[in-house]
Amino acid sequence: MKSSLMNRRTASHCMRLVAGFSLIVALVFDVLMFNTASAQSADLCTNAPLLIIADGPSDMPSACTVAKGSFLAEGLYYQNASRFGGTALAAYPLMRMRVGVAQRTEFALDAPSEIAESGFAGAGVYTKTEPGYGLDYTFAEPARADFSLRAEEEPPASRFTPSQAQPKTSVDITSGYHLSDRFTVSTLLGESDGYTTSTMQRTERWFPISVFDLAFLADQRTQISTDFGGKTIMRRASAQAFGDISVARLLSRNLALNLGLGTTFNPVAGTKAHYLALGVDCR
């Protein structure tokens, strides 16, 4: 009994270290990207292809905003599972419309989606998300890089979280830096909150949330991305670490298909460890 308790404490401590490490990496890259960019090169998002501007299926949104007067539609289906089988959570269609409303500013609108969740004795539980909206503003464009601030109400469903614990608000800073013509490094630092619908009292807080992403442009139509991140669940004083890999393929200049796989290394109660996602981006 004592040995089991010590093992759980050791695992929890390790996950906090992992989440803390991802936060430090994100902070260091933010500073390096802002201070080492070459003044002779254009910023990351100027004339960027769809593969760079679209968010993709992982927890790493693009640092680029949609150009003024244009739009980008994104749709996503995902479900998670574990080696024990069964589906704990599936969400669809997760439709998002991103519209460039001003220079370096976009408005995002999330349509209601359905979350199908495993219940007791094999019964299914079906809930709908509320319409969501948010603003994304690019506040700095040093050479080869972009830095954006994003705030959202009713953000898209998190793939590792039960429906009753989905975040209601989120704020984050994203950054992207062109290491070369083929490699792009991105980071995210953020915070999310959960509230009860009736009293609007905070039920949960995730802070900090940090993600580090590396994207590789295999050819002009294919991008492979991998990210590693962590989030601290304040009320439970615990940390969750996760990793993703995704492939995006341009079907045409304005249409892309995404496939994503991911895992959380220490899933919370009521969730499954792994997920599969399929998405479409169109502009």
Residue pLDDT, tens place only, 130-156: 899 999 999 998 888 999 999 999 887
Q: Residue 46's CB: how many other CB atoms inside 10 A?
A: 11
Question: What are the beta bridge partners of residue 172?
Answer: 150, 190
Structure tokens at 226: 């991998």
- 270 - beta bridge partners? none
Question: Which token pair is 88?
Answer: 């704990």
| Residue that wins the pLDDT comparison between 29 and 213 | 213
Given this model, what pLDDT does residue 5 score?
Answer: 42
Task: Reply yes or no on whether the pLDDT at 7 is more than 60.
Answer: no
Entry pTM: 0.80
Q: Is pLDDT at 26 greater than 60 in this prediction?
A: no
Query: What does the pLDDT look like over 193-242, one tens digit per residue?
Result: 876 655 556 667 888 888 999 999 999 899 999 999 888 877 766 778 88
Q: Which residues pair with 99 in a beta bridge?
A: 71, 107
Q: What is the mean pLDDT of the chain?
A: 79
SS3 268: coil
Q: Which two tokens stand for residue 39?
A: 């003044």
Nearest to 53, CA basis, from 194, 241, 258, 208? 258
Q: What is the Cβ-side half-sphere exposure of residue 176, based on CA atoms within 13 angstroms?
A: 29
Give the pairing of strands 238-252 and 222-233: antiparallel
Alpha-carbon span 189 to 30, nearest angstrom? 10
Amino acid in position 266:
N
CB burial readout 80-101, b (16+ within 10 A) else e: bbeeeeeebbbbbebbbebbbe
C-alpha torsion angle, residues 52, 58, 63, 64 (rounded to 10)? 40
Give the contacts of 32 (CB within 8 A, at least 6 positions apart): none
